Structure 1
Amino acid sequence: MRCAEARSWPSVTTTIPACSRPRPRRWLPSLPSRPGARGPIQRPPRAHRRSIPSISNAVRGVLGGWLLALVFAGGALADPPPGAAPFPPELEARLAQALETSPSRTQPRTRHRMPDGSPRYTNRLILEQSPYLLQHAHNPVNWFPWGDEAFAQAEQLNRPVLLSVGYSTCHWCHVMEEESFEDPEIAEYMNANYIAIKVDREERPDVDDVYMAAIHAMSGRGGWPMTVWLTPAREPFYGGTYFPPRDSPNGKRRGFLTVLRQLSGFYTQDRLKAGLRASAIAETIREALAPPPSVGVPGSDDIKRALAHYKRRFDAKNGGLSRSRKFPSSLPIVLLLRSYRRTGDAELLQMARKTLDAMRRGGIYDHLGGGFHRYTTESTWTVPHFEKMLYDNALLVVAYLEAFQVTSEEAYAAVARDVLDYVAREMTSPHGPFYSATDADSEGEEGVFFVWTPKQMREAVGPEHAKLALSAYGLAGKRPNFERTHYVLRRDLSVEELAAAHGMTPSATASALKEIRAKLYQERAKREPPLLDDKQLVAWNGLMISAFARAGLVLREPRYVEQAARAAAYLLEHARPHGQLARYVRNQKPYGTGLLDDYAFLEAGLLDLFEATGDARWLADTRALQRDLDARFFDDEAGGYWISPDDGERLLVRAKPASDGALPSGNSIEVMNLLRLYTLTTDGDYQMRAEMCVRVFSDSLHAAPTGHARMLEAVDFMLDRPKEILIVTPEGRDGAEPFLRELAGVYLPNRVLVTVSESEAKALVPEVPWLERKRALRDAATAYVCEDRVCDLPARSSKVFGEQLRKKPYPYPEG
């Protein structure tokens, strides 16, 4: 069974498919529990366009509504959405203008078209920039974007609000769109009885977090598409994830239209009860997302409890946790590696290696184009949901790099290179920053772009290499693993094993495999590619900047550092209007309000760039962002950072996120930023804020340490004696490379690094005071390894430097 896009919840409970049966809603007895969606979904064909329209903003202000209506009278909309009142003339003019300048004028992503191919319906989403919202701009549903206008209309018309949240590359979001939001009967009922709001969870993660907490409280699970029924006061009274369009033939499964009718009736007939239920759920959300401050301090016992849980739940056969589906984020590889370094527990290293090996060999990895898919629908890492997310790939690059440093296993470095080369080739804008994701679907079906038949593979590689290709990619002598007819590619056999099986030398086999991969990639490129979400999210770019910068430092690849620097420079110029970060950039313009993740993740990337380059600019930009973050996001009374700024929109609750999901929590990354900044600058304010952060979350961390793996990495840093490493050279930085190569081969995560010339070191002393009086001795590159500003003897040879770096790490203290 294919399930809706699930959220990997960070608690000790297992991830439950979003389309499985929810708990009974005891607080709403008039509506029985919705049975889950079972079996494959037969969905109608549609025109599934591969590109996202680039929409210019509607003209505002200088032309009055009457003039717009006059100018665009010839381009009026075809029909209003069914069941909806006609649009006011000014709004219709704005929509018509946006449509005239949009590619969707002639290539609409809908099956509702006029005889000339233009869209029959256009709604307010045509005025937005989010690719996900633009996907729904021609649904027959009268969609509103999130905002005061929608809730004011709900209040005025005494209607409930239907909130639908998803993202552009979500397979099951597409399914629900095709089945329900493109259905005229369902759309007409929604338009006549609800105010319908669409939200892109990537554009507004703050909104998504609030209502996902409600769904989780009501049903014990979460996922996308998320469907929530709200009062005009924005409080939820019912919700779920994916809903099939209509009741099942046996009557055991309620369809979306039935639920819409029942909930509209419930709200209309007993608005007081609906309001009371909504208020109770809203209070539950507030308790979940903004818990009272704690008083304890996390320690090594919390790390040990998390590790014990991972050991109990580890899948010894397949790697990862013992679940029917596999998420890369569910087992924190980096925490395992860092704890292995401190404890010497070989089981932790074995768990990390087993998981990394299973992922790089499995179908979750794109063996032709590079990059990881989001997660697999079964336990062997073979059959994925095929979307590729920028953040997954950024985080996995770092995991493979750290594993390479621990083990010296070249296969891990090769995966990191392959992923970064894929991102540079296919996920990078011409201006430098990185795109968000690619879809799971192409040609209207999931996975079509990525899967193969033996016949297709033979024709692509030719008779000379056909047998080797089929054997290498798991098609030889095995049953199809996808939809009973196709294969998701795997790479289970090593070059040496393939060479022995085919009577070839390893070098000849490696050469042939390289040629085979190139031919298959070229043949696949002829297929209709998945949709590309081209918005450039600041937060996700920060993660990928970190990945490129760290890879450049570890692999000694200057091109990766250059890629990171180009993206960072662009974002600092284009995503920081008036000195404050935006949420994302699209078409070279900033949009949305920057949130905690945007600041924290970008700061981490800039710190990694500073360490990779020694360029003081990146440290200065980091500190400037930190000042803005402290001024607008920090809770001065209790500690911790709010998800949104003081001057941002007020939702039902102002969350202070601590637990990880598919992405690390903003607070956990920010604690690490503060610790690194303190170690670099010795500014005690950074240390104070870091300590306040870990204290305020200590209760939730004690209760569910596995949900706070990234915060535990920060705790690991705090429980260590981080090294301060300086490589200072004569002018021009000649001679630093041997020291940097030595450092790259040592797994030393809890450290800061500065690489500068003597004159640069002198100029940087006001920012990094411990650089004072550090010189390149005898006019040669010199390395200093320090702890708490107390240094070993200066090292003028990389060998001595390496010995200083490889001193036995400090064990965890008790408690």
Structure 2
Amino acid sequence: MGEARKPNRLINARSPYLRRHAYNPVDWYPWGEEAFRKAREEDKPIFLSIGYLACHWCSVMERESFSDEEIAKILNRHFVPVKVDREEHPHVDEYYMRAVQLMTGTGGWPLTVFLTPDLKPFYGGTYFPKEPRYGLPSFRQVLEAVVQAWKTRREQVLAEAERIDRAVRESFAQWSRQERVEPSRRPIEAAFDQLVMLFDDEYGGFGYAPKFPNPGYLTLLLRHHHLTGDAVALRMFRKTLDAMARGGIMDQVGGGFHRYAVDRAWRIPHFEKMLYDNALLIQVYSEAYAVTGDPEYAETVRLTVDFLRRELRSRCGAFCSSLDAESEGVEGLFYTWTYDEIVSAFGGGVGERVAAFFGATVSGNFEGGRNVLFRAGRPEELASALGISPEEAIRVVRRRLLELREARVRPERDEKVIASWNGLAVSALVSAAVHLGERSYLELAVEVLEGATSALYEGGRVWRYWLDGRGDVEGRLEDYAALGNAALDAFSVTAKDRYLDLALRILDAVSERFVSQDGRLLSSPCDETGPHSGLQEDYEGVLPSGATLTFLLAAKAFHATGEERAYKLSERALATCGRIEDEPLAFPFLVANLPLLGRDSRELFVAFESGDPFEHVRAAISSFQPYTVIVPVDRRSLPEPLRNVAQDKVVVQPGPTYYLCEGFSCRMPTNDPGLVAKMLSERG
């Protein structure tokens, strides 16, 4: 037997992704001054590798290259190798991803970047194979070329690094001019026109392959339909949701969505499961159910919430960040099936009908003759085979397959509890509770909020993540604002003072920690130093930006309290994204929510002295109302922040009493929730 390999310094890292590399022969450093000092003292370039635990190609590169002794010798001799978890240091990932995108026109993970000792990028890419393939050079060839360039063309390399660093900063700065943005419908209309051009009429979604869910685009479509009644927007929205819910991108057995599909038809996914994707899609499908009443959307929500509850709960009560794409070193092994496995699970003719329903064949549609399950048949076909209703037939089949799958080796879970992703999950669960009338979702939302707050909020500051009993790394703007939003959303249906207080304390912390001296809203704390400090977000991808989340928190807080400081922060967040009227799809979540401060916005004060605030709200909100801010007013103990706007919102017995207002100018109060629902539906 060979000698056991000794661990490198990543054995002491907190990140599970970094610890995965602890037994590589590569002499890894975590991101920090120790690595930077070594690079300066030894005059070596830094080899920077950025990834995350659930990333399939990150795992492939770790096995192929970072475990290879010869590759390790080159890295250790000629570079200072640095490994970064993008979820731990998103600002580092954001900066160097932009650099690679400017250099190559593409980006992704693993992110591979070569830096000067002063941290300026001069060459990069994403995944490089061990041997030349896919039209890519081998990783060894790349390393040898960089070593040669550093030795023989140093001045040219340094000049290139200066040029790229300047280009990255200029690309961020182009959005940094402060412009007043009118919170109107116009950017939504402009964004919709662009989405029509991007829409895939055959399979739904936007573009071709790979295909991402794009919850920001879906949010835009539904709000455009809400404001205008545009049937085309609703058709695009529903076609995409139907295709995803029936495709392989959704786990047809255990619920929840994989990160994206590699094909145009949504059938073959990349198998990692991220908390943020599932949180945002719970919100989208909940809203879809509120608009359409389609039970398939409600069932998709239920399956996804069940997945979160079953597979991502942390011991602190909040949610862990992700599940790996691989198990036993094989991508998708946990989630895929052979034809025989399905047939034998049900026996004979019934098994064949189940296999046909899920599109499974003997030859398979995935690697190794295995099948990614998708909805290829009609539920009625299953029902006739099992002799029960279509809805029950699907549940019975899923339950049986899930029982069998639970015996398999599970994908690794990243145990990090990330503030912003948990904030998104709480807000989504509150939305699902209201739209589906599921009290258990509200109870889960409160448990997650309590767990996240206990783990991540300390002394007025928000940690980026919690792991192994403690928080670490101060949060970014998105972490503060998402947690504040979660608290405000929880307050809207529980009337618990402490949630309103938490939201307003976080709002103040955002103003104190993230607004620069020249009035810009930064993505990282103002006192942060280093080459990646002082930057603003200039677009949002799958996730809503920190600026968008700040706008939502501040706008809703203003409607709830009337406080000027909240209104000013909402305007500052808008000004940060001053070019959205020119490029509305750069910030789809923000554009979709702009009317929250415009003439389409309203406040609904729900005054009560007894009973359940959740039921009081549910009685009146029977339709989709994205621009109506719910403010519960418990007359037994009126919170101080509500006194300016709610002191006169009294209960007309027997209560509860509803006050529908526009700009705090209110209609006559009523105790009739049906009348409130009618008034809410009068205008988009």
Q: TM-score range by the shorter chain?
A: over 0.9
Q: SS of 1:229's equivalent?
A: strand
1:114 CA displacement: 5.0
Say if 1:285 and 1:653, in contact at 8 Å, map to a contact too.
Answer: no
Say if 2:507 and 2:566, in contact at 8 Å, map to a contact too.
Answer: no
Q: Which moved more, 1:270-279 or 1:145-154?
A: 270-279
Task: Give the 3 Å change call, closer, same or farther, for CA 422–512 of structure 1 in structure 2.
Answer: same
1:792 CA displacement: 1.8
Q: Which ranges in structure 1 are unaligned for 5 or more consecutive residues?
A: 1-112, 810-815
AA in 2 matched with 1:389: M
Say if 1:165 and 1:227, in contact at 8 Å, map to a contact too.
Answer: yes
The reply on whether 1:591 has 2:455 as its aligned counterpart is: no
Say if 2:316 and 2:455, in contact at 8 Å, map to a contact too.
Answer: no
1:126 CA displacement: 1.1
- After superposition, what is the alpha-carbon deviation per residue over 1:614-660, rounded to whole angstroms, capped at 9, x for unaligned? 11111100111111111111135243x21211222422453211411
Partner of 1:395: 280
1:723 CA displacement: 1.6
Partner of 2:589: 710
Say if 2:491 and 2:499, in contact at 8 Å, map to a contact too.
Answer: yes
Q: SS of 1:372's equivalent?
A: coil
Q: SS of 2:411's equivalent?
A: coil
Q: How does 1:131-280 map to 2 (within 5 A)?
A: 131-247=16-132, 253-280=136-163
- After superposition, what is the alpha-carbon deviation per residue over 1:330-376, rounded to whole angstroms, capped at 9, x for unaligned? 76111111111111111001100000000000000011111000000
1:319 CA displacement: 0.4
Partner of 1:22: none
Partner of 2:380: 496
What is the CA–CA distance in structure 2 between the aligned matches of 1:443 and 1:503, rounded to whole Å? Answer: 35
Task: State which of 434, 438, 448 in structure 1 corresponds to 2:333.
Answer: 448
AA in 1 matched with 2:527: D
1:244 CA displacement: 1.2
1:314 CA displacement: 0.7
Partner of 1:94: none
Task: Give the 3 Å change call, closer, same or farther, for CA 786–765 of structure 1 in structure 2.
Answer: farther
Partner of 2:647: 772
AA in 2 matched with 1:231: T
Q: SS of 1:590's equivalent?
A: strand
Q: How does 1:175-574 map to 2 (within 5 A)?
A: 175-247=60-132, 253-291=136-174, 292-295=176-179, 297=181, 299-329=184-214, 332-463=217-348, 465-475=350-360, 480-483=364-367, 485-496=369-380, 498-499=382-383, 502=384, 507-574=388-455
Q: SS of 2:632's equivalent?
A: strand
1:512 CA displacement: 3.4
1:396 CA displacement: 0.3
Partner of 1:576: 457
Q: SS of 1:360's equivalent?
A: helix
Task: Give the 3 Å change call, closer, same or farther, for CA 676–737 of structure 1 in structure 2.
Answer: closer
1:765 CA displacement: 4.9
What is the CA–CA distance in structure 2 between the aligned matches of 1:745 and 1:786, rounded to whole Å? Answer: 18
The reply on whether 1:740 has 2:614 as its aligned counterpart is: no
Which has more radius of gyration? 1
Q: TM-score, normalised by structure 2?
A: 0.96
Q: How does 1:63-142 map to 2 (within 5 A)?
A: 114-115=2-3, 119-142=4-27
1:269 CA displacement: 2.1
- After superposition, what is the alpha-carbon deviation per residue over 1:459-497, rounded to whole angstroms, capped at 9, x for unaligned? 222347313312321226x86221261211112434335
Say if 1:676 and 1:752, in contact at 8 Å, map to a contact too.
Answer: yes
Q: How does 1:726-765 map to 2 (within 5 A)?
A: 726-730=605-609, 732-733=610-611, 739-760=616-637, 763-765=638-640
Say if 1:326 and 1:379, in contact at 8 Å, map to a contact too.
Answer: yes
Task: Give the 3 Å change call, closer, same or farther, for CA 578–771 of structure 1 in structure 2.
Answer: closer
What is the CA–CA distance in structure 2 between the aligned matches of 1:135 and 1:743, rounded to whole Å? Answer: 51
Q: What fraction of aligned residue pairs are identical, expressed as a percent? A: 35
- After superposition, what is the alpha-carbon deviation per residue over 1:248-302, rounded to whole angstroms, capped at 9, x for unaligned? 59xx742111111111121122322211111111111111123341435355433
What is the CA–CA distance in structure 2 between the aligned matches of 1:330 and 1:758, rounded to whole Å? Answer: 38
Task: Give the 3 Å change call, closer, same or farther, for CA 719–726 of structure 1 in structure 2.
Answer: closer
What is the CA–CA distance in structure 2 between the aligned matches of 1:616 and 1:496, rounded to whole Å? Answer: 49
- After superposition, what is the alpha-carbon deviation per residue over 1:751-786, rounded to whole angstroms, capped at 9, x for unaligned? 1112343213xx225435221122221233222211
What is the CA–CA distance in structure 1 between the aligned matches of 2:280 and 2:671, rounded to whole Å? Answer: 35
Q: Which moved more, 1:717-726 or 1:314-323?
A: 717-726
Q: SS of 1:125's equivalent?
A: helix
1:531 CA displacement: 0.9
What is the CA–CA distance in structure 1 between the aligned matches of 2:17 and 2:603, rounded to whole Å? Answer: 45
Q: TM-score, normalised by structure 1?
A: 0.81
Say if 1:658 and 1:668, in contact at 8 Å, map to a contact too.
Answer: no
Q: SS of 1:490's equivalent?
A: coil
1:451 CA displacement: 0.8
Partner of 2:545: 665
Task: Give the 3 Å change call, closer, same or farther, for CA 430–247 of structure 1 in structure 2.
Answer: closer
Task: Give the 3 Å change call, closer, same or farther, for CA 256–330 of structure 1 in structure 2.
Answer: farther
Partner of 1:604: 485
1:733 CA displacement: 2.0
Q: Which ranges in structure 2 are unaligned for 5 or more consecutive residues?
A: none
1:158 CA displacement: 0.8
What is the CA–CA distance in structure 1 between the aligned matches of 2:54 and 2:277, rounded to whole Å? Answer: 14
AA in 2 matched with 1:706: L
Say if 1:234 and 1:652, in contact at 8 Å, map to a contact too.
Answer: no
The reply on whether 1:647 has 2:530 as its aligned counterpart is: no
The reply on whether 1:788 has 2:669 as its aligned counterpart is: no
Q: Which moved more, 1:458-467 or 1:800-809?
A: 458-467
Q: SS of 1:778's equivalent?
A: coil
What is the CA–CA distance in structure 2 between the aligned matches of 1:516 and 1:721, rounded to whole Å? Answer: 45
Say if 2:382 and 2:394, in contact at 8 Å, map to a contact too.
Answer: no
What is the CA–CA distance in structure 2 between the aligned matches of 1:301 and 1:780, rounded to whole Å? Answer: 39
Task: Give the 3 Å change call, closer, same or farther, for CA 436–128 of structure 1 in structure 2.
Answer: same
AA in 1 matched with 2:560: L
Q: SS of 1:455's equivalent?
A: helix
1:748 CA displacement: 0.5
What is the CA–CA distance in structure 2 between the aligned matches of 1:300 and 1:776, rounded to whole Å? Answer: 35
Partner of 1:623: 504
Task: Give the 3 Å change call, closer, same or farther, for CA 302–803 of structure 1 in structure 2.
Answer: closer
What is the CA–CA distance in structure 1 between the aligned matches of 2:574 and 2:133, rounded to whole Å? Answer: 49
Q: SS of 2:530's equivalent?
A: coil
1:738 CA displacement: 5.9
1:509 CA displacement: 4.0
Partner of 1:614: 495
- After superposition, what is the alpha-carbon deviation per residue over 1:369-400, rounded to whole angstroms, capped at 9, x for unaligned? 11000000000000000000000000000000
- After superposition, what is the alpha-carbon deviation per residue over 1:577-601, rounded to whole angstroms, capped at 9, x for unaligned? 3331111111121111211111111
Q: SS of 1:583's equivalent?
A: strand
AA in 2 matched with 1:425: R
1:739 CA displacement: 4.3
Say if 1:765 and 1:771, in contact at 8 Å, map to a contact too.
Answer: no
1:155 CA displacement: 0.7
